A and B are shown apart, each in its own frame.
Chain A
Amino acid sequence: MDKTKERSIDKTTQDMLQRAKEMNIPTAWDRLESMLPQCGFGQLGICCRNCEMGPCKINPFSVKEQTGICGASADTIVARNFIRMIAGGAAAHSDHGRDIIHAFMLAAQGKTDAYGIKDEVKLKVLAREYKVKIDGRENNEIAAELADKFFLEFGRQYGEMNPPRRAPEKRVKLWRKLGIIPRGVDREIVETMHRTVMGVDNDYKNILMHGFRTALADGWGGSMIATDLSDVLFKSPEPITAKSNLGVLSRDEVNVVVHGHEPTLSDVVVDAVRSPEMIALAKKKGAKGINLVGMCCTSSEILMRHGIPVAGNFLQQELAILTGAVDLMMVDVQCIMPALSGVASAFHTKLVTTSPKNKAPGVTHVEFKAEKAYEIAKEIVKMAIENFPNRNGNGIHIPDKSEDLVAGFTAENIYNFLGGAYRATYRPLNDAIIQGRIRGLAGVVGCNNPKIKHNYGHIEMAKELIKNDVLVVVTGCSAIADSEAGLLQPEAAVKYAGKGLREICEAVGIPPILHVGSCVDNSRILIALTNVIREGGLGEDISDLPVAGAAPEWMSEKAVSIASYFIASGVLTVLGSPFQILGSKKVTNFLCNEAEDIVGGKFVFEGDPVKAAHIMIDHIDKKRKALKLKPMMYR
């Protein structure tokens, strides 16, 4: 039991790890152990595999400065590797965004059996921003024109993308001055690949600045578009309650786990499992009903909009199958461990891939098409139902623990839950910061990583922040971690928050930690910060705000992109483990020091989540001082 306790602070997870051990089924933690020691050159970012003269690795201890065969210095190699990670992350988020536009376009053209415009208000807000004529037009006409304009954000070759211009004026001017306003999502990602090919850019600063530009094309581009159009297609979230952790799996219902990222699949599955036809079929097969649960970011998508229970975060995906109660797990893209098929093969669980971008050997593939999304969703649900009788009664182990949570916060609905329909405003939030009830805001986001005790980084950091009156916003796996610790309950304010923050939570009726969605929804945080600036009294640029970001358990390239667009937007961002850049002092110094003078944000690496929280708090205090805000109300 000891080892399992070291691996996660979540009791449910510990329980399942014990079961894995007993069943002799390896999990990510075990694979990490067998991987040790990990490659030092890789960790430091000084291994270059970009051409066949190499691979080259730079000796980090060499007295004489060593270069690759082409002459690339450690700085060049590290910078190139780093921005290729950004490009990978940006590509993932943005391709997700592109798929949403595709579904949006089909909906506009009436060519799908599942999607329609569910948030007319947001459609019109976007149409006005993109100067699409509204008067006298049907929603579908507006949407069709808008879809083309959004596609253009990916393919634009010159000029500026539109969404980054939503940033505070001063920030946009700064980006313009630095030449890092992205032109088009694909344009910047392709250029990253080009610049990092053998024999192109070898000025590390020039490379890294383009990394920022690529990251901005993600945060203020692909991700933001994904969020916006998901809201239009699947409705904008409103505060909602739900349950979280593996205990949400049901003993007597058909358990369908949807895992991955894109709501185009998961949202329509919600409709499918609620259809009387499917429920009847489930009952026929001896189940009491159908229990749809989510895993990772796609879970957040349907949690935010429908209150669908959350089975767990990244490191719990294998454990869900280990319960023996999952009748079917369908996956689309991103963060899906190839190990799943192996785990699933030990149980009756049917694993189904759905995206042409993600197949697995020996795994059933039912290709998802937006045109007949509902039909396909039903087909997959039916497979789950039919698999229900194959459960091995004795081999089922569902932990009995799940926690209540409140989710569904967005940059837009903050206006309403603070001011109501008629006095919609951010004022109470700004006032709370200005008067010293709330110290500042922190975004704690990102993945799980078996190198860090599961959920520990997220939960301990969040607790420390709210104890010090920092209002925390969370997305993705971080949000799920907090939910499993009960921190997303409004009652948590009384239990864990400092007095000032607690007063605000009690006045508004919110938890001290606000779940704002999936990892593309980090774009909601950018907009929320911009709205705080617009409301007034806290400076003119995001970099003036008493805010900080963190990814205490990051692992994905997507986190590299997210962290980069946050610092390029002016936000100090703390990482639980260092980026793979320490092999170059200059690159490290640039990203962890100099960047602050250039773009307003920088990286800090700190593995202890409580210490990391205090780095964030100190930074917030520094910003409060610069804004000449009052001292904290209750010290």
Chain B
Amino acid sequence: MSRIIASAAIRGAHKYVKDAEEKLNELIKEKGEKQEVAFPNTAYHLPAILALTGIEVETLSDTKKALEQAKLLLPPLVREKLWLPYLGNTLDAGIATLIATEIIEALKYVEGYKPEGIWLGFTDDSTLRMQGIKLVDGRMSGFAACVGALPTNEQAVKLARSLQQKNILVFMVSSSGGKSMAEQLAEEGIEMNWDTFLVPYGKDTSAAILALNFAVRAALTFGGIKPEGPENAMEVARKILLYNKDRVHAFVLALGADPGVNGSGQLITDEKYAAAAGAINFGFPTLSDIDIPQILPTGICTYEHVVSNIPLDKIVGKAIEVRGLEIKITEVPIPVPYGAGFEGERVRKEQMQVEFGGKSSTAFEILRGRPMDEVEDGKVEIIGRDIDSVEVGTAMNLAILVDVAGRNFSEDFESVLERRIHEFLSCANGVFHMGQRAIAWIRISKEVYQKGFRLKHIGNILVAKIHDEYSKIVDKVQVTLITDSEKTKAPLEEARKIYYERDERLGGMTDEDVDTFYSCILCQSYAPDHVCIVTPERLGLCGAYTWLDCKASYQLNPHGPNEPVKKNKCLDPVNGQWEGVNEYLKVKSHGNLERFNAYSMLEDPMTSCGCFECIVAILPEANGVMIINREFTGMTPIGMAFSTMAGQVGGGVQTPGIIGIGKVYITSKKFISADGGIKRVIWMPEELKKEIEERLCKRLEEIKEPDLMEKIATENDAVTSEELLAFLEEKKHPALSMPPMI
């Protein structure tokens, strides 16, 4: 009986709006209407409210305006008899709940709330950018907002594992019977953070808004949807909600009953129903292990809206079906769970059974194409001792030699496939992998060792995953794992030679050497007009695709996201503009872009999708540019943090003076070469400077400006424009005496 749900959800919305109003009035009385209201580190104000009402909440007085909108949406309670249509009203109550709960959660921060213990609270923009992209590009299958708790801790762990294994991000909020799923996991010592796909938001049901305002920002950041103020709020909000329905495969799991609620037969609280109604507006259905009423007819969500009474061991499978998730699960024959949810999991020293590489030993990995008859498919050979013959905590040497063969395989693909080893191994529960090539570092946890994980399983993973993802070019895969130190020496030497050759192949290649660039329109799924043009000297702004990678990708899949773009006639060698590129751009941006300069950030620069590694922004007063990397959350001399700037540059629009780039481009000869090149760089965060130090030194040597390293300020030298100017003048930074940028 949907009427029970509607009645409860509408009651819940009324309660939330009342709670929000009381709290708000209290705070206004205490702190005045001008008191600032904000979630930490976001450019989206109170994101759900921004999306739904177009109001940019900055103060308590703005909050009041937002709450008025919620009140307007509040429908009357559902009558016991002769009721009026309630589906639309329930959805409106859901929207009112979103607004009210976001106010409730934001006001906690006004009162000085800091998430503590297992709870993470509001997700800031930098995490959103890093994680949200996975939701929209499919690396994460979706997210599950788990509301409540399970009958036992063991079942909680099982549910979490089964979601992780399917690459489903797990948000945890609220409680049932006084307990939250997150607390259950914590009691079982499960690591919970963004890297493990297990995110405990807060114990209140209102914290569910934190999952939904994450979804809202995914649409704003990656969907190229821009808030247009209160006038057009309804239209924009609709786009955001539909974006989520179509692209963000999320669902709500209402777990466990709330005993004695309303003193009647109702099984879960009005507030939970109200939150679920909010989620249904996004197309996110609710599934429950208990026997709550169902709403089976479809139309707002893709399939059913509320499905209940599902046994816990079937709930994930049912959720996948109801939400219409497409999950590609490769059976990886190993004794531990496998999935993207484990990708970011760390294995600390005290949890470690054994490690390879890092500081204490040598580990390297190399993938080579071989003739067909030299590869025995599926073979995993171990040369040396396995991990069960060494003490706990030992560091061993390891060579991972992957040989592949395929009729369509070419040498160009080697590095593309090799780079995936990191991801393939990381996705195993209890296996930690970092670095690549000869700086690989692998740890295996005690826990999975106990479950029977051995060295050969590393081989099994690679064989399974390479077959799974590259079946078009790879027919056979074999893996050799060498732990015998002596026997790793020769292969390592050979590998180093190959690494060097590969670097040279691209390193020496210039844009002038080729007549074809490659495009990347992978991100058009969420930034419809954005087109990346990848050249030998300018890699994709995400940092993941070089010209060679794009070329390989095109060969792997000619109908995929990377296409060759003929340069044709050069229209402007300084700015880097070609007739063929312009023509391609015009078509692929659906007529939105006319021209593109590869080497200028000021005139017809490249657009950005939203997943750039760094932003380069002009500081006109200093006649130079600053570069800020995604990981840096601090303030910058331009007066904005990364998240705020990112909001201005994403979405496939040309924004002269501010561009998104990949880190490697900073040290390219073509780095904004039309605007003065590397000598324009006057500021970057310390961590970025450290990270690219080696290549930066080399590049500065080339231009005979080795001192410039010292002259580029970091946040330790300056965070305001004034401080920066003083620093640059003191250091005599060359940018100050260069021709004006604009």
Contacts and interface: CB of A to CB of B under 8 A. Distances in A.
B91 A509 contact: no
Nearest to A434: B298
B281 A420 contact: yes
A70 interface: no
B89 to A, nearest CB: 7
B299 interface: yes
A431 B87 CA distance: 15
B82 to A, nearest CB: 5
A423 B280 CA distance: 10
A489 B85 CA distance: 11
A509 B95 CA distance: 19
A430 B297 CA distance: 11
Contact of B300 (A423, A435, A510): A423
Contacts of B3: 506, 509
Contacts of B86: 508-509
Contact of B299 (A416, A432, A491, A506): A432
Nearest to A241: B82
B525 interface: no
A35 interface: no
Contacts of B241: 422-423
Nearest to A514: B85
A490 interface: yes
A598 interface: no
B103 interface: no
B289 interface: no
A509 B2 contact: yes
B297 A428 contact: yes
B704 interface: no
Contact of A406 (B73, B82, B92, B281): B82
B438 interface: no
B88 interface: yes
A624 B491 CA distance: 68
A420 B94 contact: yes
Interface string A506-517: 111110000000
Contact of B95 (A241, A422, A503, A504): A422
Interface string B260-299: 0000000000000000000001000000000000011111
A424 B281 CA distance: 10
Given A419-B91, A420-B95, A506-B3, A428 B298 contact: yes
B95 A421 contact: yes
Nearest to A428: B299
Contacts of B6: 509
B297 A419 contact: no
A386 B242 CA distance: 60
Interface in A475-506: 489-491, 503-504, 506
A420 B94 CA distance: 9
Contacts of B281: 420, 422-423
Contacts of A404: 81-82
Contacts of A420: 87-92, 94-95, 281
Given A417-B88, A509-B3, A422 B82 contact: no
Interface residues of B, number: 34
Interface in A414-460: 416-425, 427-432, 435, 437
Contacts of B84: 239-241, 406, 509
B488 to A, nearest CB: 60
Contacts of A508: 2, 85-87, 297
A427 B91 CA distance: 14
Contacts of B295: 507
Contact of B234 (A240, A421, A432, A509): A421
B210 interface: no
A507 B87 contact: yes
B444 to A, nearest CB: 48
B85 A510 contact: yes
A406 B237 CA distance: 31
A422 B91 contact: yes
Contacts of B237: 422
Given A420-B281, A491-B81, A509-B78, A503 B52 contact: no
Contact of B82 (A432, A435, A490, A506): A490
B85 A431 contact: no
A40 B52 CA distance: 66
B211 to A, nearest CB: 18
B81, B82, B295 pick with most chain A CB within 10 angstroms = B82
A418 B82 contact: no
Interface string B289-327: 000000111111000010000000000000000000000
Contact of B297 (A422, A423, A431, A489): A431
B238 interface: yes
B1 interface: yes
B266 to A, nearest CB: 17
Interface string B439-450: 000000000000
Interface string B696-712: 00000000000000000
B300 A509 contact: no
Given A241-B82, A509-B3, A503 B88 contact: no
Contacts of B52: 422
A509 B52 CA distance: 25
A417 B82 contact: no
A432 B85 CA distance: 16
Interface in B62-106: 73, 78, 81-92, 94-95
Contacts of A418: 87-88, 299-300
A255 B82 CA distance: 25
Contacts of B296: 503, 507
Contact of B83 (A425, A429, A430, A490): A490
Contacts of A437: 297
A437 to B, nearest CB: 6
A491 B82 CA distance: 7
A429 B298 CA distance: 9
Nearest to A409: B85
Contacts of B298: 427-428, 431-432, 435
A422 B87 contact: no
A310 to B, nearest CB: 15
B170 to A, nearest CB: 26
Nearest to B5: A507
Given A423-B238, A507-B2, A509-B2, A428 B82 contact: no
A420 to B, nearest CB: 3
Nearest to A508: B87
A429 B295 CA distance: 14
Contacts of A509: 2-3, 6, 78, 83-87, 89
B373 to A, nearest CB: 52
Interface in A6-35: none
A390 to B, nearest CB: 36
Given A420-B281, A422-B241, A489 B299 contact: no
Q: Which of A406, A423, A429: most chain B CB closer than 10 A?
A: A423
A430 to B, nearest CB: 8
Nearest to B79: A241
B600 to A, nearest CB: 39
A422 B238 contact: yes
A489 B80 CA distance: 12
B88, B94, B234, B296 — which one has the most chain A CB atoms within 10 A of its CB? Answer: B88
B83 to A, nearest CB: 5
Given A431-B297, A432-B299, A507-B295, A419 B83 contact: no
Contacts of B305: 507
24 contacts: A241-B82, A406-B82, A417-B87, A419-B299, A419-B300, A420-B88, A420-B90, A420-B92, A420-B95, A423-B242, A424-B88, A424-B238, A425-B299, A428-B87, A428-B299, A431-B299, A435-B298, A491-B81, A503-B296, A504-B297, A507-B295, A508-B86, A509-B6, A509-B84
Given A424-B238, A507-B295, 8 more contacts: A239-B84, A239-B85, A419-B300, A423-B300, A431-B299, A507-B296, A509-B84, A509-B86
Shortest beta-carbon contacts, A-B, top 6: A428-B299, A420-B91, A509-B86, A417-B85, A427-B299, A417-B88
